[in-house]
Amino acid sequence: MQLEKNQDIELYIEDMTTDGEGVGKLDGFPLFVKDTVIGDKAIVKVIKLKKNYGYGRLMSIIEPSKDRVAPKCPIARQCGGCQIQELAYNKQLEFKANMVKNNIERIGGITEYEMEPIIGMEEPFYYRNKAQFPVGTDKNGNIVIGFYAGRTHCIIENDVCYIGSKRNADIVAAVKKYMLDNNVSAYNEADNKGLVRHILIREGINTEQLMVCLIINGKKLPNEEAFVKALQATGKIDSIMLNYNTQNTNVILGEEVRLLYGTPYIEDYIGDIKYRISPLSFFQVNPKQTYKLYSKALEYADLTGNEVVWDLYCGIGTISLFMAPHVKKVYGVEIVPPAIKDAKENAKLNNITNAEFFVGASEEVLPAYYNKHKDEYADVIVVDPPRKGCDEKLLDTIVKMAPKKVVYVSCDSATMARDIKYLSENGYKLEKVCPVDQFPHTCHVESVAVMHQQDLMM
Residues in the chain, total: 458
Residue 30 φ/ψ, nearest 5 degrees: -80, 140
> Pairing relation of β-strands 446-453 and 405-410?
antiparallel
Question: Cα dist. 229→183, 195, 236, 240, 401 in Å?
Answer: 16, 19, 11, 10, 57
Residue 357 φ/ψ, nearest 5 degrees: -125, 145
Distance CA 109, CA 422 (A): 10
Q: Which residues are catalytic?
A: 411
SS3 string, 174-225, reads HHHHHHHHCCCCECECCCCECCEEEEEEEECCCCCCEEEEEEECCCCCCCHH
**Residue 149 gets which letter from DSSP?**
P
| CA triple 356-446-57, angle to 5 deg | 140
Residue 32 φ/ψ, nearest 5 degrees: -100, 125
CA dihedral 53, 10, 60, 49 (to 10 degrees): 20
Distance CA 214, CA 285 (A): 19
CA dihedral 102, 104, 108, 112 (to 10 degrees): -110
